Amino acid sequence: MKILAHRGYSANYPENTMIAFQEAAKMAIWGVEFDVHLTKDNQLVVIHDESIDRTSTGKGYVKDMTLEELRAFDYGSWFAPEFAGQTIPTLAETLAIFKSTPFPINIEIKSDIFRVSRH
């Protein structure tokens, strides 16, 4: 059986955060999986949802914010108080964690397709 760390070590750490990826890199797993979204200023960030509402102290869509704006929010305290202060990681930062591991990396590129209602 091949075990993938889904969104990092998301069972014990806030998903898609540096701590979740750092801890996953220490595990005896087969690989890692995560999603990326494009920010308003064309940066690739690692987050599952189109919005930051569920996993941060902020509200809004990734596509509508710059990396600097996204990093103003906390991405760890929703999971547990001891993870307060986690920021949204970039793709480059996340890949750097796994550079020295043998793990295959499965990256899902999100398209952020939004339906426009017509009246």
Catalytically annotated residue among 29, 44, 48, 71: 48
Give the helix/strand (H/E) hosting 46.
strand 44-46
119 catalytically annotated: no
6 catalytically annotated: yes
User: Strand 44-46 to strand 31-38: parallel, antiparallel, or no bridges (unpaired)?
Assistant: antiparallel
Give exposure, 20-33, as e/b (b: 16+ Cβ within 10 Å). bbebbbeeeeebbb
d(CA 87, CA 37): 15
* Helix, coil or strand: residue 69: helix
Mind telling me the catalytic residues?
A: 6, 48
